[in-house]
Structure 1
């Protein structure tokens, strides 16, 4: 591998690293928003979660990302539930 190839690999790895940081930040923002939504719903006397909405979330991720998207959606929902318990 020559210097140009190594440089190109490093550059592309930096892009992936930046995306990973952005994804982590968005997941944290999503969890915070879900926590706030749960508080608002609880204050209004309605269940903190809504099954139809969660199913819609899973459908969205499955449609956009394929079968593995469903797994991502499930993980995000689980993280939101954990965040709302804090």
Structure 2
């Protein structure tokens, strides 16, 4: 099942139970996320959802991607959609 969100895009493989992340904002990536990884990211963002400065996520432990507080809320919704796939 393919997810084309405003913040992230990727494909969920039901057989392996892995979400393959293809894009974050305008940056292309190849990252596999297991259920617990999606859950940890979701829980962290929910905990900091009210931060007015937004959040920064890293790709490949090198590239910083800034998310505004509104983008964090959108990403939380997209992660909820992914979690429902597991």
TM (norm. structure 1) is 0.35
- More helix by percentage: 1
Choose 1 or 2 for highest CA Rg. Answer: 1
Could you say which structure has the greater relative contact order, defined with CA pairs below 8 angstroms and 6 or more residues apart?
A: 1
- More strand by percentage: 2
